[in-house]
């Protein structure tokens, strides 16, 4: 009976030892598997780190090579950033000066006689042989057209005046004009050749101008150059 109990005890101890050995084997296998997994991960990460290190070394070598080329050439390979465009400053328009309407109209330089300039009544005046051209307001062209019409009329009248006073044999006193002025022009013409006379007698200039405020008519006094 005693012997049987001993056998049972031995069998129980052996069973416990077997279970412990089996548990230890499982634990050992788990530890070994974990170590192998960690080793694999570390082995995979190492090439990435090595690749990063190689890439940085290549970039550093490339930058150093560019710097050496710049030093040899004397010019930097990096371009400076373009400056920001400056906003243009606003230009203030010139201030308009007030103008008087009256100053835009021709004002005569000579005395007024009976409401008109004195040269209107005596075209040979102030040492000049002259003539007057008169033009009313024009439907088109404004004041420029009015002035152009008066100039054409004055030139035509002056040509007639010169022909009478210079080339004719009429007595100066009977014409009722400034005798000294007419004598001066006659002497001037006789001292010139025919070609010079023709050129001289076309030397006209506008001596004075005036506008009648009531009618708006434009008056031009044109004279022969002395």
Q: Give residue-wise pLDDT tens across range 135-184.
A: 999 999 899 999 999 999 999 998 888 877 777 766 666 566 667 888 88
Segment 111-119 mean pLDDT: 94
pLDDT at 153: 95
Would you tell me how many other CB atoms lie within 10 Å of the CB of residue 128? 20
- Tell which CATH architecture fits domain 106-224: Roll (3.10)
Has residue 65 got a pLDDT over 50? yes
Tokens representing residue 188 in the block: 């001037």
pTM of the model: 0.51
**H-state helical runs in the chain:** 2-73, 142-165, 172-175, 179-190, 194-200
pLDDT at 118: 94
CA distances from 25 to 16, 22, 32, 38, 40 (A): 14, 5, 10, 20, 22
- Domain boundaries of the chain, sorted by first residue: 1-73, 106-224
Categorise residue 194: left if φ over 0, alpha if ψ from -120 to 50, beta otherwise: alpha
Segment 73-89 mean pLDDT: 54
The confidence band for 102, taking pLDDT boundaries of 50, 70 and 90, is very low
- CA 59/CA 65 separation, integer angstroms: 10
- Name the residue with higher pLDDT: 60 or 212: 212
Most confident stretch, 32-46, 138-152, 167-181, 189-203: 138-152
Tokens representing residue 98 in the block: 């007030």
DSSP 89-148: PPPPPPPPPP--GGGGS---SS-EETTEEGGGT-SSBTTB-EEEEEE---SSSHHHHHHH
């Amino acid at each position: 009976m005693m012997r049987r109990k001993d056998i049972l005890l031995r069998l129980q101890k052996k069973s416990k030892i077997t279970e412990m050995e089996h548990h230890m084997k499982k634990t050992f296998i788990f530890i070994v598997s974990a170590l192998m997994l960690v080793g694999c991960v570390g082995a995979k990460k190492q090439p990435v780190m090595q690749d990063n290190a190689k890439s940085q070394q290549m970039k550093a070598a490339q930058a150093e090579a560019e710097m050496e080329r710049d030093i040899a050439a004397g010019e930097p390979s990096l371009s400076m950033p373009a400056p920001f465009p400056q906003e243009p400053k606003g230009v203030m328009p010139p201030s308009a000066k007030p103008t008087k309407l009256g100053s835009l109209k021709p004002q005569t330089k000579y005395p007024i006689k009976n409401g008109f300039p004195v040269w209107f009544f005596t075209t040979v005046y102030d040492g000049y042989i002259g003539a007057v051209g008169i033009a009313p307001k024009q439907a088109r062209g404004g004041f420029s057209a009015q002035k152009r019409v008066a100039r054409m009329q004055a030139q035509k009248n002056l040509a007639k005046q010169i022909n009478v006073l210079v080339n004719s044999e009429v007595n100066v006193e009977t014409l009722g004009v400034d005798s000294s002025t007419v004598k001066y022009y006659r002497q001037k013409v006789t001292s010139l050749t025919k070609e010079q006379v023709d050129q001289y007698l076309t030397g006209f200039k506008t001596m004075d101008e005036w506008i009648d405020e009531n009618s708006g008519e434009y008056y031009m006094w044109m004279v022969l150059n002395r």
